Amino acid sequence: METADFEYIRDLCHQRAAIVLDLEKSYLIESRLQPLARTEGLGTIADLVAKMRTTGYGTLHGKVIEAMTTNETSFFRDLQPFEALKKVILPELIARRSLSRQLRIWCAACSTGQEPYTIAMLIEENFPQLAAWDVKILATDLSTQVLERARSGRFNQIEVNRGLPSPLVVKYFQRNGMQWELCERVRNKVEFRQLNLIDAWPAINTMDIVFIRNVLIYFDVQTKKDILGKVRNKLRCDGYLFLGGAESTFSLDDSFVRTEVEKASIYRLKGYDDPVLPTRAVKAASVRA
């Protein structure tokens, strides 16, 4: 690929999605954009870039950015965060929100939906009392393509095999040809919306739990700081933030404190001290990030 074409794609992805692509990633650009060039009726990546250069930002630019996102995900990814949710965090929140009976959970950068659907199934399986509560799971992503797949609730055999215990497959999925379809009851628990994390977030409510996992790793330091600053404003003072295993707030935002719950790292807002229900399990293992 010509250097000028590489630089065009790199700058586009950085300016519009904050995704950092360095020269070692040029192989990734080639492998992901060549098929797109073909489906757009263009022979090469050079033709694709030439076409984008001649028009203002539009659908084609959006497709290129989407093609450059990494959408790797799975059900119950890393397991421990979901153990923490089941054994400590949801029971605590249920006790604390017993008057309002309202819970707000947000999966930012949800990819094809396995993460928010994992949470929805976990709630369905373990917290039947929440059926009478106002519980909303919001799931957002930059990519309209992954959101379309997520909304469909259809997964192939490999996706189902990755992380989903078979009793849950039997209970919540139905086979349809080569696909497994998630039942409507669980699908309806999740609202999917398109959201670019580097844009403003006016329509996001204050959340009890935020999952923003395995996406900050693609951003530069300033973007990580900006996003964590915005998360801080959207998290309730006693809320919980989950990051990916290779991510942390360390040296990015000191308003968060890392704590360990069921071997999962969880971030809480510094200075939070629950006057009603001391969070013993959390505090016992509290570690400063």
Ligand X SMILES: C[S@@+](CC[C@H](N)C(=O)[O-])C[C@H]1O[C@@H](n2cnc3c(N)ncnc32)[C@H](O)[C@@H]1O
Instruction: Please report, as ranges, the residues that interact with ligand X according to CB under 6 A.
Output: 17-19, 69-73, 77, 109-111, 115, 141-143, 146, 196-198, 213-215, 218, 244
Instruction: Output 19 or 252, the one with its CB closest to ligand X.
Output: 19
Instruction: Output 74 or 279, the one with its CB closest to ligand X.
Output: 74
Instruction: Output 13 or 279, the one with its CB closest to ligand X.
Output: 13
Query: Which CA distances in Å does 224 have to 205, 215, 270?
Result: 20, 9, 18
**Cβ(210)–Cβ(234) under 8 Å?**
yes
Integer Cα distance of 182 and 260 in angstroms: 32
DSSP 250: T
Instruction: Output 31 or 102, the one with its CB closest to ligand X.
Output: 31
Instruction: Output 66 or 238, the one with its CB closest to ligand X.
Output: 66
Catalytic, out of 10, 32, 236, 268: 32
Q: How far is the CB of 62 from ligand X (least distance, A)?
A: 12
Q: How far is the CB of 96 from ligand X (least distance, A)?
A: 26
Catalytic, out of 141, 208, 238, 253: 141
**Number of other CB atoms surrounding residue 286 within 10 Å:** 13
**Residue 274 a catalytic site member:** no
**Cβ(259)–Cβ(287) under 8 Å?**
yes
Q: How far is the CB of 139 from ligand X (least distance, A)?
A: 9
**Residue 254 a catalytic site member:** no
Residue 277 tokens read as 């229900």
Backbone angles phi, psi at 93, to 5 degrees: -65, -35
| Tokens 């990015």, residue located | 252
Q: How far is the CB of 277 from ligand X (least distance, A)?
A: 29
Residues 6+ apart with CB under 8 A from 278: none
Integer Cα distance of 50 and 38 in angstroms: 14
Residues 6+ apart with CB under 8 A from 132: 101
Q: How far is the CB of 77 from ligand X (least distance, A)?
A: 5
HSE, CB side, 13 Å, CA atoms: give it for residue 213.
31
Q: Please identify every residue annotated as catalytic.
A: 32, 141
